[in-house]
Amino acid sequence: MADAHQKNHDYHIIDPSPWPIISSIGAFLMMFGAVCFMRWIHGTPFHMFGADLALVFKFWLFAIGLIITLYSMFAWWADTIKEGQQGHHTRVVSLHLRYGMLMFIASEVMFFVAWFWAFFDASLYASEAIQASRVQFLGGQWPPKGLEVLDPWHLPLYNTVILLLSGTTVTWAHHALLHNDRKGLIQGLVLTVLLGMLFTSVQAYEYIHAPFAFSESIYGATFFMATGFHGFHVLVGTIFLLVCLIRAAAGQFTPTAHFGFEAAAWYWHFVDVVWLFLFFSIYIWGGWGAPLAHG
């Protein structure tokens, strides 16, 4: 009788999970609360935030949605890790996990293509873009007339070196894992996480001291959207690798079973490549001929 129910295939049907519907509800609350909050916050003095009950409600709607989403992510991925530890990640399941990660990265590529498209459209057709802008003093050239840009050979170059080094350290960690060198794995991941945090800190400093604002021109809008979303991806990747570091310290990765770390490494290399395109197209080419901001 037991043989009749014995599993004789490589596929795995997951148990019923509440996380898809819960995470969807959390994402909806977060999105709805953020849109309403940002709409009402425009023009509202800071001292009025506490007095405006509708504004407070919308902020907490966003906060609750964010908490639900983050908890759903944690619980959902914890279930996936548990499935792997129980032996459910067979050859076929592991292959499909890889396909899923590759499709996710492909969707991220198209996401950044949209921001590159916006930047190149505005820069190659500067007259049309600036005519549509509310700011009149910029003139029909790119970079806009009268605008100072960031020096690409200062902090942007520094961040480029940081990310290239982080790509090296995460590859070192991967090779250490394949050779069952747990010490090398942990050291490589620690260095990669620290380099990711350093990149984020440098970019935050760069944003604080940027000589142009988001709403000042189409240049500022496209610059901050493209580089800002990349910075967000670096932050996500750093958290991804930090989780891998915790799992590596707990001994959850082996040379033959470590897809969680492999997916994090793929994501991190993707972030590296996107930054190289940003550095050459937006910082160097996009700011060519404009006065540089120093200090």
Token pair 């806009």 is found at 144
Element (H, E) at 74: helix 53-85
Do residues 275 and 232 both lie within one domain?
yes
For 169: left if phi > 0, alpha if psi spans -120 to 50, otherwise beta; the answer is alpha
Residue 14 per-residue DSSP state: P
Do residues 109 and 245 both lie within one domain?
yes
143 lies in some domain? yes
Query: How far is it, in rounded angstroms, from Cα 92 to Cα 12?
Result: 9
Mean pLDDT of the chain: 85
Sign of CA pseudo-dihedral 96, 100, 103, 105: negative
Higher pLDDT, 205 or 80: 205
Do residues 163 and 289 both lie within one domain?
yes
Q: Which tokens sit at 266?
A: 């793929």
Sequence-distant (6+) residues with CB within 8 A of 65 are: 25, 26, 27, 28, 29, 30, 31, 32, 33
51 lies in some domain? yes
Do residues 203 and 106 both lie within one domain?
yes
Do residues 43 and 112 both lie within one domain?
no
Question: What is the tens place of the pLDDT at every residue in 55-105?
Answer: 677 788 889 999 999 999 899 888 888 888 887 788 888 888 899 999 999
Residue 293 per-residue DSSP state: E
Do residues 21 and 80 both lie within one domain?
yes
Looking at the DSSP bridge assignments, the partners of residue 254 are 257
Do residues 70 and 186 both lie within one domain?
no
Question: What pLDDT sits at residue 108?
Answer: 96
Range of the domain at 78: 17-86
253 lies in some domain? yes
Reply yes or no on whether the pLDDT at 170 is more than 80.
yes
CATH of the domain at 127: 1.20.120.80
Do residues 42 and 183 both lie within one domain?
no
Reply yes or no on whether the pLDDT at 251 is more than 80.
yes
Q: Which of 107-116, 139-148, 153-162, 270-279 has the lowest mean pLDDT?
A: 139-148
280 lies in some domain? yes
Do residues 31 and 151 both lie within one domain?
no
Do residues 143 and 79 both lie within one domain?
no
Last residue of a domain, one of 69, 86, 103: 86
Last residue of a domain, one of 39, 54, 86: 86
8 lies in some domain? no
pTM reported for the whole predicted model: 0.83
Q: How many domains does the chain have?
A: 2
User: Taking residues 5-20, what's their average pLDDT?
Assistant: 77
Do residues 129 and 22 both lie within one domain?
no
Question: In angstroms, what is the C-alpha Rg of the chain?
Answer: 23
Do residues 156 and 286 both lie within one domain?
yes
Question: What pLDDT sits at residue 58?
Answer: 76
Sign of CA pseudo-dihedral 274, 145, 288, 197: negative
6 lies in some domain? no
Last residue of a domain, one of 43, 66, 86: 86
2 lies in some domain? no
12 lies in some domain? no
Chain center to CA of 180 = 29
Question: What pLDDT sits at residue 128?
Answer: 59
